[in-house]
Amino acid sequence: MTFSAKTLSLLVLIGLGLSGLALLVTATGSGKRTRETRGPIHLDDALRGILEGQGRAIQKLERAVRALQRVDGHRKESIEGAVRNVGLVRYDAFEDVGGRLSFSCALLDDKGNGVVVTSINGRQDTRVYAKPVTARKSGYNLSVEEEEAIKQALSGPREAVKAT
């Protein structure tokens, strides 16, 4: 079972509060005891035991928080490298073919790395091209539509991909 850092911090605070309450009960309860019935209680030993127990609990929670931070770091790296930015441009590649069936689609991560895929639809055939993109640029010549798809993908968050 894993907890968020916020939850673990809350648990630490609750543990500290409970240990403070235990100290208070121990301190106030010692006056009610008599030597004849239960023997003397040594506040130093009781306090030491409580604090050592709380120290172990806090160390355990700290280890859990560090483990969660490592996992969070790995997930952050994975998310940054995932395709999160999509731009789509639809167009007519040829004057005699309508319906805007040709398209360029950029699929990029947050750093502008990924691929732009272009499908050019003609009367007799359809051709598909894929060009790698690194840092918003490609080693291949990009068409105006491909550049627009890259620009759309990196222009900011959108609720849905707009076809232009």
Angle between helices 5-29 and 43-80 (to 10 degrees): 170
45-100 pLDDT, tens digit per residue, is 778 888 888 889 999 999 999 999 988 988 888 887 788 899 999 998 887 777 88
- CB 7 within 8 Å of CB 63: no
Tokens of 60: 């355990």
Tell me the Cα Rg of the chain. Answer: 32
13-34 pLDDT, tens digit per residue, is 888 888 877 777 777 765 555 5
Domain ranges of the chain: 5-80, 85-153
Residues with Cβ within 8 Å of 154's Cβ and at least 6 positions away in sequence, in order, are 85, 87, 108, 112, 136
